[in-house]
């Protein structure tokens, strides 16, 4: 999260709404440890990463859905066991659990 | 200040802090900001849940570990109490440099101790003055292996050692033990363990007295012979007894340490 603070600060002072995705758990090999985070603004700007680039696109989509009020904050899973794996799977073969929420706290 | 603003300020200052977030169950998104020696900010929805998570978050912070834990909505942790209760899953995100363990002496016990210390989240450095023993190949689990005498090590890193860190002196050799103990005592390190038989220990205390270690407060800091009195036999069992003693030192629990008993060290 620390590496996102500059971007988040700038966005917040510009009045942008922001969603934050954090890695909370990994199974098998995962490119980033729990705590890795990325932030997405309503206008689609992105800072940070939660994988080696495998799932970031899908995370942006989910973050925007939450900011639009079309989904609740919650856990999103990417990986082998998931059907989505074929679309946005992790190349390392692991499973990654993310918690995505609006940064309104 | 919002929780995020407090959290951001602490992160920028590199102050150890843990952020607990409900990620599943009742109250998704609720936050509790936990710091050592400071009242927690925010709430996860129930005072007892806040209390239990604060305790666990401080332990996770000490080990510099982040992860998910499950509780009942009122902080229940035992399986029987959780029956028929919704589970609250909480992500604890820790921000702290990992605690350090410096092991002096590249002996048989060193590899086992380094391994157990890694499990507990330590950054482990092995030091020995003997080039043939202090090799990466013998201690692949260590974060660093240094060929050096204790004196220069403490000159270099002494100031950064603190209450969460540990120094374990396993050499059994007064040439090495004595300067290592002197170096460790000059720091704020939270745990100093010194290995040896009861006879080695008695001789070492004489030598330390000769070089001026006579202050009872200093002697009180030395866990010597090192480890809990659990009858450990193998290097692995000894490593567990040492690490358990370190945990007890941090938590302030009274457990039977070898230095407080007189019987056989090994079962």
pLDDT, residue A91, reads 60
Task: Provide the H-helix boundaries in chain B.
Answer: 3-12, 47-62, 79-82, 108-119, 150-157, 174-185, 198-210, 216-221, 235-251
Which structure tokens are listed for B228? Answer: 């809990």
- Interstrand relation of B31-35 and B38-43 (parallel, antiparallel or unpaired): antiparallel
Residues of B whose CB is below 8 A from A10: none
Q: pLDDT class for A11, splitting at 50, 70, 90? A: very high
ipTM: 0.90
- In this complex, how many residue pairs, one in chain A and one in chain B, have their CB atoms less than 8 Å apart? 52
pLDDT in the model for residue A85: 47
Residue-level pLDDT at B79: 79
Chain B contact set for A5 (CB, 8 A): 8, 11-12
Predicted pLDDT at B221: 97
> What's the pLDDT at A31?
72
**Considering only CA atoms, which of B46, B42, B56 is closest in space to residue B91?**
B56
Is B22 in CB contact (< 8 Å) with chain A? Answer: no
Per residue in A39-94, pLDDT tens?
999 999 999 999 877 788 999 999 999 999 999 999 999 875 445 545 555 566 67
Domains of chain B listed by start with CATH number: 14-95 (no CATH), 100-260 (3.40.50.720)
Nearest to A75 among B23, B67, B94 (CB): B23
Instruction: Flag whether the pTM goes above 0.95.
Output: no
Residue A87 confidence (pLDDT) = 54
Domain limits, chain A = 2-102
The answer to whether B96 and B61 are in contact (CB under 8 A) is yes
Cα B205 to Cα B216: distance, rounded to the nearest angstrom: 12
- The confidence score (pLDDT) of residue A51 equals 84
> B216 vs A21, B177, B195, B242, CA distance in Å?
52, 19, 19, 22
pLDDT in tens, chain B (267 residues): 999 999 999 999 888 999 999 999 999 999 999 999 899 999 999 999 999 999 999 999 988 889 999 999 999 988 787 778 889 999 999 998 888 999 999 998 999 999 999 999 899 999 999 999 999 999 999 999 999 999 999 999 999 999 889 999 999 888 899 999 999 999 999 999 999 999 999 999 999 999 999 999 999 999 999 999 999 999 999 999 999 999 999 889 999 999 999 988 988
A23, A30, A39, A99: best to mutate for the B interface, most B CBs within 10 A: A99
Contact state of B91 with A34 under an 8 Å Cβ cutoff? yes
């Amino acid at each position: 999260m620390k590496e996102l603070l500059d971007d988040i600060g700038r966005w917040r002072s510009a009045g942008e709404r922001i969603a934050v995705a954090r890695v909370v758990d990994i199974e098998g090999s995962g490119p980033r440890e729990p705590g890795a985070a990325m932030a997405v603004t309503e206008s689609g700007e992105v800072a940070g990463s939660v994988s080696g680039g495998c799932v970031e696109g899908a995370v942006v989509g989910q973050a925007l859905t939450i900011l639009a009020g079309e989904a609740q904050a919650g856990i999103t899973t990417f990986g082998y066991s998931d059907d989505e794996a074929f679309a946005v799977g992790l190349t390392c073969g692991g499973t990654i659990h993310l918690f995505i929420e609006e940064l309104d706290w | 200040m919002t929780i995020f603003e407090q959290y951001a300020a602490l992160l920028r200052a590199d102050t150890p802090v843990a952020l607990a977030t409900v990620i599943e169950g009742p109250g998704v998104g609720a936050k509790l900001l936990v710091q050592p020696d400071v009242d927690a900010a925010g709430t996860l929805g129930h005072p007892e849940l806040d209390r239990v998570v604060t305790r666990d978050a401080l332990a996770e912070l000490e080990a510099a570990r982040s992860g998910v834990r499950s509780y009942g909505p009122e902080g229940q942790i035992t399986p029987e109490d959780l029956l028929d209760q919704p589970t609250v899953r909480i992500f604890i995100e820790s921000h702290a440099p990992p605690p350090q363990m410096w092991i002096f002496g590249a002996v048989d016990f060193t590899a086992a101790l380094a391994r157990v210390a890694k499990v507990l989240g330590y950054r482990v450095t092995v030091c020995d003055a003997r080039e043939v023993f202090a090799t990466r190949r013998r201690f692949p689990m260590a974060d660093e292996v240094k060929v050096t005498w204790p004196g220069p090590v403490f000159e270099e890193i002494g100031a950064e050692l603190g209450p969460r860190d540990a120094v374990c002196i396993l050499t059994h050799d007064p040439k090495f033990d004595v300067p290592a103990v002197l170096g460790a005592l000059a720091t704020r390190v939270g745990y100093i363990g010194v290995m040896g038989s009861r006879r080695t220990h008695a001789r070492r205390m004489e030598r330390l007295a000769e070089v001026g270690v006579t202050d009872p407060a200093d002697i009180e800091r030395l866990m010597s012979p090192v480890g809990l009195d659990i009858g450990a036999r193998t290097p692995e069992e000894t490593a567990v007894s040492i690490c358990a003693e370190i945990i007890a030192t941090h938590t302030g629990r009274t457990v039977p340490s070898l230095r407080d008993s007189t019987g056989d060290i090994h079962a």
